[in-house]
Amino acid sequence: MSLITDRTKRTEWFLHDRFGMFIHWGLYAIPARGEWIRNGERISNEDYQKYFEEFNPDRYDPKQWARLAREAGMKYVVLTTKHHDGFCLFDSKLTDYTAMNTKAKRDLVREYVDALRAEGLKVGFYYSLLDWHHEGYPAFADLHHPMRENPEYKGKTRDFSTYVDYFHGQVRELLTNYGKIDIIWFDFSYGEMSGEKWQATKLVKMVRELQPGIIIDNRLEASGDGFGSIVTSNPSVYSGDFASPEQVIPNDGIVDADGKSVPWEACITMNNNWGYHAGDSCWKTSRQLIRKIVECTSKNGNLILNVGPTARGEIPENSVRILKEIGAWMAKNGASIYGCGAPNLPKPDWGWYTRKGNLLYAHVLDGPIGPLCFPKLNGKVKKARLVADGSEMPLMTPWNVKAFPEHAFVNFGAADHMTHPLPDETDSVIELELK
């Protein structure tokens, strides 16, 4: 079987589920200035050590995290098992720099995995290819290392092969010790730190042997600002199973050189940071995020929405509130997301279409003046209903649209009234059963 055929089979569940949760959590939650704090503030290992010694998430309850994700309508979760700072939330035999050796004294990943499975959610692990703590990782001349351009590090020899062996070993631990894992989310490649610099072919072979059904992102050879060979006609062995645009939704989705849709997932924050940032109050609204879930689905894509728990292990109140609001909409309208994709129809001016077989879902974001028009669908629609409550929406041809015989029309209220408020100002979803 070809790489693309294998990828198609592996991603069936992923493209059905459409919506997931990202969790960025680690020592950086203590200073609470974002997950790149070591990079931005040029913090050395020695100065960062105090956060390792302080780490004690006494309110960590992954059961609550998993329940919140499920109630929000999410179907899978991806947790940062190790971020760029090198700190491991899991019990690794290859380093002492783990949660087991903090005041937590717990394998936080084990509890996370068990909690997700109890809620029926797919399990994902994020693992950073970067490691600013490991002595074998490049420092002075590296693009991102906190000690870049620090004269004290100039000329110091670092054996990168020791780091590659180390991180391959940690990936083996993650994919051996926790049962079936559904996603491994590597992050990220840059400059010469790409592809075989990570011994990516060897790595992917190991991953596939340990977890045959797992899906892998594209960042062994790419980053959030590009896609790598997954969009070509001849993808590499380590091209991944899905592309991962960051903080952006591609205008036309993502297709390969032959025009065929490529699995993709937009990773999006709720505010402006991935890790907990106490001073970041730029929260997106649930209305905006629901519409982005719809937009991704309409373009054959997924959306993974991030939360950044606090140092004590709690998901911030604003994140909880937003997720509950999203969950209320998904509970009523999830049929228009799960199992759906691009409609292969022009985008309507009032919103988006998503489609599942002969069911076309009209996501109405802007209320019409007069009846709602479905362009060029007259004679093609068997029936229409409002998804939220299942109520019938009769097809009609009011007197003032008889000049447009190629279009189909419905009203949100009585036929003899021309204007009606939308039932849901966020997104009123109509299911059209096509003939």
Summarize pLDDT for 76-126 with one digit per residue, the tens.
999 999 999 999 999 999 999 999 999 999 999 999 999 999 999 999 999
Contact (CB, 8 A) for 326 and 380? no
Same domain assignment for residues 184 and 299: yes
Same domain assignment for residues 92 and 119: yes
Q: Which residue has the higher pLDDT, 185 or 416?
A: 185
Residue 416, pLDDT above cutoff 80: no
The one-character DSSP state at 363 is E
| Structural domain count of the chain | 2
Cα 274–Cα 279–Cα 282 angle in degrees, nearest 5: 65
Distance from CA of residue 372 to its chain's centroid?
Answer: 33
Same domain assignment for residues 311 and 398: no
What is the Cα–Cα distance from 411 to 209, expressed in whole angstroms?
55
What is the Cα–Cα distance from 198 to 271, expressed in whole angstroms?
32
228 assigned to some structural domain? yes
CATH number for position 361: 2.60.40.1180
205 assigned to some structural domain? yes
Contact (CB, 8 A) for 336 and 354? yes
Angle between the N-to-C axes of helices 62-71 and 317-333, in degrees from 0 to 180, rounded to the nearest 10? 40
Q: How many residues are given for the chain?
A: 435
Same domain assignment for residues 325 and 365: no
Strand partners, 351: 364
Q: Mean pLDDT, the chain, as a whole number? A: 97
CATH number for position 256: 3.20.20.80
- What number of other Cβ atoms are within 10 A of residue 176's Cβ? 11
Q: How sure is the predictor about 414, in pLDDT bands with cuts at 50, 70 and 90?
A: low
Q: What is the pLDDT of residue 400?
A: 87
253: left (phi over 0), alpha (psi -120 to 50) or beta: left
> Would the pTM count as exceeding 0.95?
yes
Contact (CB, 8 A) for 28 and 85? yes
Residue 65, pLDDT above cutoff 80: yes
* Arithmetic mean of pLDDT, 312-318: 98
Q: What is the pLDDT of residue 370?
A: 86
Q: Residue 428: give the domain boundaries.
A: 351-434
Q: Is 279 helix (H, G, I), strand (E, B) or coil?
A: coil
Q: How sure is the predictor about 418, in pLDDT bands with cuts at 50, 70 and 90?
A: low
Distances (CA, A) of 173 to 76, 197, 330, 377: 21, 21, 36, 54
Residue pLDDT, tens place only, 250-273? 999 999 999 999 999 999 999 999
φ and ψ at 68, to 5 degrees?
-60, -45
Same domain assignment for residues 394 and 282: no
Residue pLDDT, tens place only, 13-32? 999 999 999 999 999 999 99
Q: How sure is the predictor about 219, in pLDDT bands with cuts at 50, 70 and 90?
A: very high
Residue pLDDT, tens place only, 140-158? 999 999 999 999 999 999 9
Q: What is the pLDDT of residue 244?
A: 98
Q: What is the pLDDT of residue 420?
A: 77
Distances (CA, A) of 389 to 305, 393, 410: 27, 11, 16
The one-character DSSP state at 55 is -
Q: Tell me the two tokens of residue 384.
A: 């229409």
Q: Tell me the two tokens of residue 390.
A: 């299942």
* Arithmetic mean of pLDDT, 336-350: 98
Q: How sure is the predictor about 419, in pLDDT bands with cuts at 50, 70 and 90?
A: low
Q: Tell me the two tokens of residue 63.
A: 């059961």
Residue 433, pLDDT above cutoff 90: yes
